[in-house]
Amino acid sequence: MQISGLSQIHQAHSAQPSQKFDTEAANRPDSKVYGPDEVEFSQEAQAASQTAETGEIRANRIADIRAQIQAGTYETPEKLELALKRMLGDLG
């Protein structure tokens, strides 16, 4: 059903059945029907996807940083200097 404005209502339309892929037609040499699409992911992409799904590396990094903050060893003069350089580089 489609509603356009307050006073116009249109009838619903019937749904069309989905089309099935004709494997036999795709395998004929003179066919203009192509096989189903395929995709391949590199090992790097698979690893990145798996890491993103598990969040394992990020969780380990966060735990490490929290431990350093609690121990008072996270903020070092070297890290503060690097942060300052990056901030000034972004501004300049």
Q: Which amino acid is at 83?
A: A
At residue 91, the 3 state secondary structure works out as helix
Q: Which amino acid is at 10?
A: H
Residue 28, pLDDT score: 73
Q: Are 27 and 18 in contact (CB under 8 A)?
A: no
Residue 3, pLDDT score: 58
What are 48-70's pLDDT values in tens digits? 887 766 666 778 888 999 999 99
Residue 81, pLDDT score: 92
Q: State the Cα–Cα distance between residues 68 and 75, nearest whole angstrom.
A: 8
Task: Read off the pLDDT of each residue in 40-52 and give the average, rounded to a whole number.
Answer: 84
When the pLDDT of each residue in the chain is averaged and rounded to a whole number, the result is 78
**Does position 10 have pLDDT exceeding 70, yes or no?**
no
Q: State the Cα–Cα distance between residues 50 and 29, nearest whole angstrom.
A: 40
**Does position 24 have pLDDT exceeding 80, yes or no?**
no
Alpha helices in the chain (DSSP H): 23-27, 43-54, 56-71, 77-91
**Does position 2 have pLDDT exceeding 60, yes or no?**
no
Tokens of 67: 């431990």
Q: Are 86 and 79 in contact (CB under 8 A)?
A: no
